[in-house]
Amino acid sequence: AQSVTQLGSHVSVSEGALVLLRCNYSSSVPPYLFWYVQYPNQGLQLLLKYTSAATLVKGINGFEAEFKKSETSFHLTKPSAHMSDAAEYFCAVSQAGTALIFGKGTTLSVSS
């Protein structure tokens, strides 16, 4: 069965610092991988997705993620955090023919 693990339920960074949110997946076949962001009292927005094309995926708002098959990871990064990046971030995985399975989420706090 497929699953996704997000390491760290809460990450705190200073404005301008590197953002690194960790995601590891478990899948018996090549997966599709996604990162979503949720701002308070809102639905989820797609940040980026990996669907077996380039291993480095660029998304919206300056975020990117790298698919590493050998490490079964799909970590989300942003070189310089902004106050507006404070939100909850979800990693998700699916295989062909299955719906998305979400991780438990990581709350990102950004301090000035």
Residue 77 CB, nearest approach to other proteins (Å): 20
Residue type, 58: K
Residue 4 CB, nearest approach to other proteins (Å): 9
Residue 97 CB, nearest approach to other proteins (Å): 6
| 30-64 residues labelled b (16+ CB within 10 A) or e (exposed) | ebbbbbbbeeeeeebeebbbbeeeeeebebeeebb
Q: Which is nearer to other proteins, 53 or 112 (CB)?
A: 53
Q: Which is nearer to other proteins, 9 or 80 (CB)?
A: 9
